[in-house]
Amino acid sequence: MRGKTALVTGSAKGLGKRTALQLAEQGCNLIINYLESEQEAQQVKESIERLGVKAITVQADIATTEGAHKLADEAERWAGGVDILVNNAGPFVRKRKLFSEYDEETIIRLMNGNLLSVMLLDHRLLPGMREKKWGRIIHFGFGHANEARAWPHRAVYAAAKTGLVSFTKSLAVEEAPFGITVNLIGPGDIRGANKERSIEEAEHEHDPESPLGRPGTGEDVARVILFLCQKQSSFLTGNVIDVTGGFDPIRANIKGMF
């Protein structure tokens, strides 16, 4: 992947950071996006540059139309567009709420950040990929999003992400003739520091909720993304790939309701 340019939204921390670093290890130049974590974004930039590739940081709120356009503008200015677009960022409300308890502003932000702005960023950066006859787009959902089952207390987030599943499949078919693949990753319940950890760091730890027996890590997710971004992975498109260790967050929450 040496010489290619990748944009990872929300890459100052967590899964986005781990993905950005592993893409850089493969030779990609990186556009690092952050909302408030300027210091962390700068640290990621420095880490990437030590690998011998280029990087910039861009502050932009991906949950707004203006933020999506700002990010695309900076990508086009710096590198003439991108080869790899990883739509990792998306607002999430961890506190469980009934749909009736959400305020309108939160509903709009969740839908914008997890669906509409992703579509707008794709729309802006697709022309450059078409010109090159090559591109990789990765969307982020959640484990089992492809099944579009009920997820009580996560109604808005789930609606946005299951909508993104349909969009992923549609866009994959439309862009296939241009050498562009579009896939969606469904991470499991990977929390806290584990989002940035390696498999080796977590493989001997026990997670009682995980069927696999160990917690998931950022490397688990990043390895799948790296595979999808390889040149030889061109026949894989329109897929939803769960990276959950067998864990089903929806069923676990439903059982806890009754």
Q: How far is 92 from 131, CA to CA, in rounded Å?
A: 35
Q: Which of 89, 111, 104 is nearest to 156 (CA)?
A: 111
Which contiguous run of DSSP H or E holds residue 57? strand 55-59
If you write DSSP's letter for every residue of 102-159 in order, what string do you get? --HHHHHHHHIIIIIHHHHHHHHHHHHHHHHT-EEEEEE--TTGGG----TT-HHHHH
Which contiguous run of DSSP H or E holds residue 180? strand 180-187
Q: What is the pLDDT of residues 55-79, one digit of tens each?
A: 999 999 999 999 999 999 999 999 9
3-state secondary structure of 6: strand
Which CATH number fits the domain that encloses residue 141? 3.40.50.720
Give the pLDDT of residue 252.
56
Per the structure, the complete domain to which residue 247 belongs is given by 5-255
Give the pLDDT of residue 254.
47
| Residue ranges of the chain whose pLDDT lies below 70 | 249-258
Q: How far is 41 from 12, CA to CA, in rounded Å?
A: 4
Sheet harboring 5-8: ordered strands across? 55-59, 29-34, 5-8, 84-87, 135-140, 180-187, 240-243
Task: Give the sign of the dihedral formed by CA 52, CA 53, CA 56, CA 57.
Answer: negative
Give the pLDDT of residue 191.
87
Total domain count, the chain: 1
3-state secondary structure of 59: strand
33 phi and psi, to 5 degrees?
-105, 140
Which contiguous run of DSSP H or E holds residue 87? strand 84-87
Q: Using alpha carbons only, how large is the chain's radius of gyration in Å?
A: 17
Q: Which of 206, 117, 211, 110 is nearest to 160 (CA)?
A: 110
Q: What is the pLDDT of residues 4-20, one digit of tens each?
A: 999 999 999 999 999 99
